[in-house]
Amino acid sequence: MKKRVTKAVFPIAGLGTRFLPATKSIPKEILTLVDRPLIQYAVDEARAAGIKEFIFVTSRGKSALEDYFDTAPILEASLRKKKKTDLLATLKETNMESGRIAYVRQNEALGLGHAVWCARRLIGDEPFAVILPDDVIAAEKPCLQQMVEAHEVTGGNILATMEVAPDKASSYGVLDVADDMGSVVSVKGMVEKPAPGTQPSNLAVIGRYILTPAIMRHLNKKSVGVGGEIQLTDAIATEIAANEGSVFGFRFAGHRFDCGSKAGFLQATVALALAREDLRDEFLPYVAAQVGGEMPAATRARAAS
């Protein structure tokens, strides 16, 4: 019988330099889309997919995350006293039961593959998910849940994938497709950040993976790849070569926002705010006016200068 996927690794050791100065004193994962930190979206998606154990691979300066997922007794007592039951419920959703969340330090920035490898002892001999919280996915059915369902059929390794423009492929891990079956694609190779024009397809991998323990064994070799980093892509490519038919791409239904970039973060902010019933009526006229109407005087002046 196939083992259920109940553990997820969240590699969050990065410095978030693209968001300086904001990230000088707060972890990037605490940056907020509307009113929830980036990491909350990732954890909610994992919960919806049946994940029970959450492993955060962190680094120095990330301790705000530990407080965030802990209970906040003084705040809770104050809300209870003021009978603010809705806020209390919102707050309680962020509390993680002790033992369900673990923090592992990645003490050297050696790449995504190395970050995942840091969780090896907590993963053991089980399939596991990897979620990169920078990739926020708006979807009717949460992306990882779609992948878990696909995994129940295919087994093996499943990588979320989407089509990207040829000039963008060099920012991603890119699939070499063996057989395109629609939502599931069997894969015969994978290349991390291919040089422009050399990508084997236009299917890029984005930050959701379901992986077998074999991947951890390949990461044990600590082979250094593109950019001088230990790449998760290379471990997956090794598994494809060793075990034909064990890796699949999965075209998820939904929209991915690259919240590692400022433009992507802003797009996600606007999209998620417009999707919120409590904000839409107030926010939409403003957005519509910005897009279709007059430019504010200050913007006009700047554009003209």
Q: Which is nearer to ligand G1P, 38 or 112 (CB)?
A: 112
Cβ proximity of 158 and 143 under 8 Å:
no
Give the range of 52-60, 82-90, 93-101, 204-212 binding ligand G1P by CB under 6 A: 204-212
CA separation, residue 233 to residues 71, 206, 220, 230 (Å):
37, 11, 14, 9
Kindly state the tokens that stand for 55.
């492993």
Q: Which is nearer to ligand G1P, 69 or 209 (CB)?
A: 209
234 binds ligand G1P (CB under 6 A): no
Using CB under 6 A, pick the residue from 45, 192, 234, 239 that binds ligand G1P: 192
Interface with ligand G1P in residues 139-178 (CB under 6 A): 172-173
Alpha carbon 134 to chain centroid, angstroms: 5
Query: Looking at the DSSP assignment, which residues form a beta bridge with residue 256?
Result: 137
The one-letter code for the residue type at 253 is A
What residues contact residue 30 under an 8 Å CB cut-off, 6+ apart?
37, 38, 39, 64, 65, 68
43 binds ligand G1P (CB under 6 A): no
Alpha helices in the chain (DSSP H): 38-48, 63-68, 73-81, 85-92, 112-117, 120-123, 143-154, 213-219, 232-242, 262-274, 277-292, 297-304
135 binds ligand G1P (CB under 6 A): yes
206 binds ligand G1P (CB under 6 A): yes
Kindly state the tokens that stand for 63.
């301790």
Give the range of 65-73, 146-154, 205-213, 241-249 binding ligand G1P by CB under 6 A: 205-213
132 binds ligand G1P (CB under 6 A): yes
250 binds ligand G1P (CB under 6 A): no
207 binds ligand G1P (CB under 6 A): yes
Beta-sheet pairing, 128-131 with 101-105: unpaired
Using CB under 6 A, pick the residue from 170, 233, 238, 246 that binds ligand G1P: 233
Give the range of 48-56, 58-66, 179-187, 200-208 binding ligand G1P by CB under 6 A: 200-208
Q: Applying CB under 6 A, which residues contact ligand G1P? A: 112, 132, 135, 172-173, 192, 204-207, 232-233
